[in-house]
Structure 1
């Protein structure tokens, strides 16, 4: 056996998809797997993006990135709402996400996300915040 770092390609994707879904089926759990990406555009220019995955009974926000010239203008809130609206009523119970101390803990709290846990770091900017919201 050899362990090496590789780029994700069709062969790796196929292995992941087959094993991930096969194990869920074996355990009699509905997979409900879907990757998502919503983009905010202004006059053809991308000003914000939110990505993640939905699986089992949970939606997980991976990244929320808003261009520096558009921060604090409501773009991030609209992108988060797009995810919430898209997955309501589709069998998912909650949206989960993490953010670092220097990023957006207050932002998610303002949007109604409940803090589950903080993994403290010696540098508070790098403390990791775990949030959840029932949908």
Structure 2
């Protein structure tokens, strides 16, 4: 199309901080677009929670499944429970739920100062890195085939 067919819209541009309404609208619009283009439908939320006997959070994971893909967004374990095996158990539970939902691949990213070694130890292979993380760090991307798990 030519410029004549796309006249400039009179609008205002605003820059600011957190905008929950904008966040939700963008998420809704992009999710609908991705669902239509991929043919995989909409993502389904995924969570794993561990609480102690007092009901306090020990650790957890949030992510999503979409078609045959399981993604980990956040995985955290309380400091006094780190190195007690909770991270591996939480991640394994998410992978098993992903596989139950039909996923054959899992993805996650971790900053170099977080837990890339942990994900490698859980069978994930590095697929890429992005520089520019504050402090000279990198964002490391990982993939694991759930079919082989």
TM-score by length of 2: 0.74
Which residue does the alignment assign to 2:4? Answer: none
Q: Distance in 2 between the 1:129 and 1:21 partners?
A: 24
Which of 67, 84, 99 is equivalent to 1:88?
99
Which residue does the alignment assign to 2:86? Answer: 75
The CA deviation at 1:52 is 1.5
Stretch moving more, 25-34 or 91-100: 25-34
Which structure 2 residues correspond to residues 46-125 of structure 1 after superposition, within 5 A? 46-120=57-131
Q: Distance in 1 between the 2:31 and 2:47 partners?
A: 21
Q: Distance in 2 between the 1:28 and 1:99 partners?
A: 26
Q: Distance in 1 between the 2:104 and 2:48 partners?
A: 20
Which residue does the alignment assign to 1:42? Answer: 52
Q: Distance in 2 between the 1:8 and 1:124 partners?
A: 29
Q: Distance in 2 between the 1:125 and 1:40 partners?
A: 33
How many residue pairs were aligned?
133
Which residue does the alignment assign to 2:6? Answer: none
C-alpha contact 2:35 2:42 (8 A) present in aligned 1: no
Larger radius of gyration: 2
RMSD, aligned CA:
2.6
C-alpha contact 1:49 1:65 (8 A) present in aligned 2: yes
Q: Note if 1:8 corresponds to 2:20.
A: yes
Question: Aligned pair in 2 of structure 1 residues 30, 74: CA closer, same or farther (>3 Å)?
Answer: same
